[in-house]
Structure 1
Amino acid sequence: MKRRILGRRTITTPSVPTMTGPDRPTPAMKPGGSADRQPIDQKAVQHLDRVRAIFRPVSSDRLAPGLERFVGKEDFFRHVGEADVPSGGRQAMMQCPPNWPSGVTWVPIRDLEILEILEDQDIRAG
């Protein structure tokens, strides 16, 4: 704490360590990078789960018009069920956010890098 004179009064102000002084503060810890983050298993997404995810399409040659601006952006998606995919088999599908183009309503879960699974409430239960 330092004492300073302000007009006729003496006030006490907290001292801030200088970066160049002899008692330099210790360097801050680096925030964890993407290498520290464990990937979330896509199979862990349940029927009513919402997820915070980044859209990264597996195949960009079949990208719907207007979606290129959403590639690499973080958004919220909701698991809506499964659908047959042209490559064969069934794929979990995620509902697109309302700010996406109106012609695009679902994306396959494999096109998302899931960052966090958010809890969703089953409105049918109450």
Structure 2
Amino acid sequence: MFDIKSLNFEGLNNIPKSIDIGYHDSNCGKIYNKNGSFILYSNFTFYGEKFEAIQQNHVVGCFNIQLQEIPCDADGNPLLVSYWFERNDDQHSRIVFLFSKEPTHRIILKTGKIIDNNTDNQYIMDMGINYILAQR
């Protein structure tokens, strides 16, 4: 049985267009697939209670992402196919986004406004991750 310690929220903020191509960067990157699909990834660190390092008897799970905007094409068609989390170790994880093609714009969910990614050099400007911290 696990004791829930906290529900944590981390603001990852953004994924810039200037990230490296390929998997060689340990923090973030982008992949152009032969079939035209496109992958973005970004690493993040888990924190325990009060933003200290996660203790050995703690477990992290139940990930969820909050997007304030969705990458799209110039006409506002969403391009996000899927996203998933990959655990690197007890302190770190990676979020991976799969798109049908490279996004050129993003649509703000609250307003419906479409923003050209070239205006601020961003693929995703505002996102956050929720997860549960439990004790074994």
TM-score (normalizing by structure 2): 0.26
Tell me which protein shows more helix as a share of its residues. 1
Using CA pairs below 8 Å that are at least 6 residues apart, which structure has the higher relative contact order?
A: 2
> If each structure's strand is expressed as a fraction of its own residues, which one has the higher value?
2
Rg (Cα) greater in structure: 1
TM-score by length of 1: 0.27
